[in-house]
């Protein structure tokens, strides 16, 4: 009987670790890439990544400065802060991960409606947002903080 409880505790500990690692790992990956991309967009607002400004037609932006700043802050710095909270096991970390994952999906959907062109990376990022939000919600439902 005692062996079964120890085994269940061990399995639970591993499950909590992989959930936390998955959430924080995806947030860090997206955050680092978004910080780099946001800075590059701000450094070259007329011709970010060689993208013509006609992609922005129909959006509220004339240059890549606005999108670069939003990318840097909301998709870059925000998940890095949230990942730190998740790693440190701070109570708002998982809840903020749910919110950030949903926000990432919203960010991508808005891009699909506003931009004249779509990128292969957009559905990948939307999927990352769903995975982060769902995993964090599952972790919360299992009593993790």
Q: Where are the beta strands (DSSP E) in 16-88?
A: none
pLDDT tens-digit series, residues 12-42 = 666 788 999 999 999 999 999 999 999 999 9
Helices 78-87 & 92-114 angle (0-180, nearest 10): 150
Distance CA 22, CA 131 (A): 9
Q: What is the pTM of this model?
A: 0.87
pLDDT at 80: 98
Band (pLDDT 50/70/90 cuts) for residue 1 is low
pLDDT for the residue numbered 106: 97
pLDDT of residue 5: 67
pLDDT of residue 46: 83
Residue 45 lies in a domain: yes
Integer-rounded Cα Rg, in Å, for the chain is 18
Domain with 112, as residue range(s), is 22-141
Total of domains in the chain:
1
93 within a domain of the structure (yes/no): yes
Residue 16, domain member (yes or no): no
Query: 3-state class of 17 per DSSP?
Result: helix
Q: What are phi and psi of 138, to 5 degrees?
A: -65, -40
């Amino acid at each position: 009987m005692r062996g079964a409880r120890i085994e269940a505790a061990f399995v639970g500990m591993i499950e909590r670790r992989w959930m936390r690692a998955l959430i924080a790992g995806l947030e860090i990956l997206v955050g680092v890439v978004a910080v780099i991309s946001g800075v590059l967009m701000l450094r070259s607002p007329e011709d970010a990544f060689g993208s013509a400004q006609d992609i922005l037609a129909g959006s509220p932006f004339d240059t890549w400065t606005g999108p670069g700043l939003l990318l840097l802050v909301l998709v870059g710095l925000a998940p890095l802060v949230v990942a730190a909270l998740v790693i440190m096991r701070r109570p708002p970390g998982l809840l903020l991960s749910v919110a950030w994952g949903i926000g990432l999906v919203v960010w991508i959907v808005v891009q699909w409606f506003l931009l004249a062109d779509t990128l292969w990376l957009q559905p990948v990022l939307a999927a990352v947002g769903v995975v982060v939000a769902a995993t964090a919600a599952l972790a919360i439902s299992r009593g993790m903080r």
